[in-house]
Amino acid sequence: MPRLDEQKVYDELVGLCYECVLDDSAWRPLLKLLVAASGRQQGLLLFADYRKNGTHASTTLNLCDPAGIDVYNRHYCNLDPGLDFVRSRGVGHWYNDLIDFGPERIRRDPYYQEFYIPFGLHNLSCVKLEEQADSGIYLTVLNEVGAPLPTAQQHALLQRVSPHLLKAAKLSSKVNHLELELTTRDLLLDHHPTPLWLLDGDGHVLYCNQAAARHMSQSAFPLYENFARLHSTNQDTSLQALIRRAAGKDGKRHASWLRLNPTQQQELLVTPVPAEVAFNRLFQKPLVLLALLENQPQSQLLAELFRLTPAEQRLAELLAQGLTPENCAARLSVSINTVRTQLRALFRKTDTERQAELVSLFARLQQR
């Protein structure tokens, strides 16, 4: 039987696990207590995305040295051998680098020699909380150099708490999906005159705003739903291909245009939804946004949907007019470094990779 104080800590950890289901702020005190109770000094929650070149990882919550986290996110996540180990295991199985990777390989591995050891880290234990086709959410606790190694009882505590951590993560995901309708109504601007649809990568309609619903109710409108998927009456093959392209099904994610009705000049913008957009945080998977562009002014559309700052919007509009970044800097009376920083933010927010893609989006909208 565990000692009374151990049982008390365990009970508190279990209680915090289920508080996290309805209160995201409970993850921090849970992580703090788990770090201390397991004989560690640092801890983090990490989201790893394997769809991009290599591994893109970001910490959603951490109790670590901020400088180390920044370096890890920018570079060393691509060299982390632990991610490969834990990715190959099922949800709920703990990985410990001293045991599973081994001291000899640690001494020879560049990740440990260049990043791990210089930042004063000694060993870690990591568990996969949630898994999707191309991503995972991981909880990690770490020992610092010079600190006592965790005891067998402290290792056992992690195993005891694991089922509750997994249940909390699963229940939290379900609750977040139940909140989708309210979240998307706010963020997709139900009052916006532009008809908008939010789809998953297979074309299933997750949400459409009021303007889109009104168009869909018209018998002559060229888009319709069938078994919750969006289709086109006369260009369905092209529409499905563009949705797959925007979702990254055929490689990199790209925005595209589809002329629905040449006589009425109806164009459909099919664009990826960036991961950091608020209404995508609930899904953590590729989403696609469709916007029907008709004869009303649309120059504010991407700025509103992707939360561009006024400075970022001004820069995008100048680039769409054919100005170079250097000319934009002169026109805006800012440094070229400021323009480059804003340009990187535009790429990130609109999920584009090259200036030509970004210019194409805004130039097409400005012509309307």
Q: What is the CATH number of the domain that holds 285?
A: 3.30.450.20
**In a shared domain, residues 27 and 163:** yes
**In a shared domain, residues 234 and 337:** no
Number of domain units in the chain: 3
**In a shared domain, residues 166 and 209:** no
Q: pLDDT category, 159, cuts 50, 70, 90?
A: very high
Domain's final residue, options 123, 147, 178: 178
Lowest mean pLDDT among 95-99, 177-181, 243-247, 266-270: 177-181
**In a shared domain, residues 54 and 141:** yes
**In a shared domain, residues 206 and 283:** yes
Lowest mean pLDDT among 172-181, 270-279, 356-365: 172-181
Domain CATH code at residue 314: 1.10.10.10
Q: What confidence tens digit (pLDDT) does each residue in 299-324 have? A: 566 676 677 888 888 898 888 888 89
The boundaries of the domain holding residue 215 are 193-294
Please choose, from the candidates 174, 89, 166, the residue with its C-alpha nearest in 3D space to the C-alpha of residue 130.
166
Q: How high is the pLDDT of residue 322?
A: 85
Q: What confidence tens digit (pLDDT) does each residue in 34-45 have? A: 999 999 999 998
- Choose the most confident range, by mean pLDDT, from 9-13, 81-85, 256-260: 9-13
Q: pLDDT category, 297, cuts 50, 70, 90?
A: very low
CA–CA–CA angle 56, 273, 181 (5° rounding): 115
Burial category of 261 from C-beta neighbours within 10 Å (exposed 0-12, middle 13-18, buried 19 and up): middle
Domain's final residue, options 135, 152, 178: 178
**In a shared domain, residues 233 and 205:** yes
In a domain, 325, yes or no: yes
Residues facing residue 291 across a β-bridge: 196, 269
Tokens of 206: 């997750």
Domain's final residue, options 294, 310, 325: 294
Q: pLDDT category, 368, cuts 50, 70, 90?
A: very low
Q: pLDDT category, 251, cuts 50, 70, 90?
A: low
| Burial track 205-231 (b if 16+ CB lie within 10 A, e otherwise) | bbbbbbbbeebbeeeebbbeeeeeebe
pLDDT surpassing 80 at residue 245: yes
pLDDT surpassing 50 at residue 81: yes
**In a shared domain, residues 9 and 39:** yes
Q: How high is the pLDDT of residue 277?
A: 61
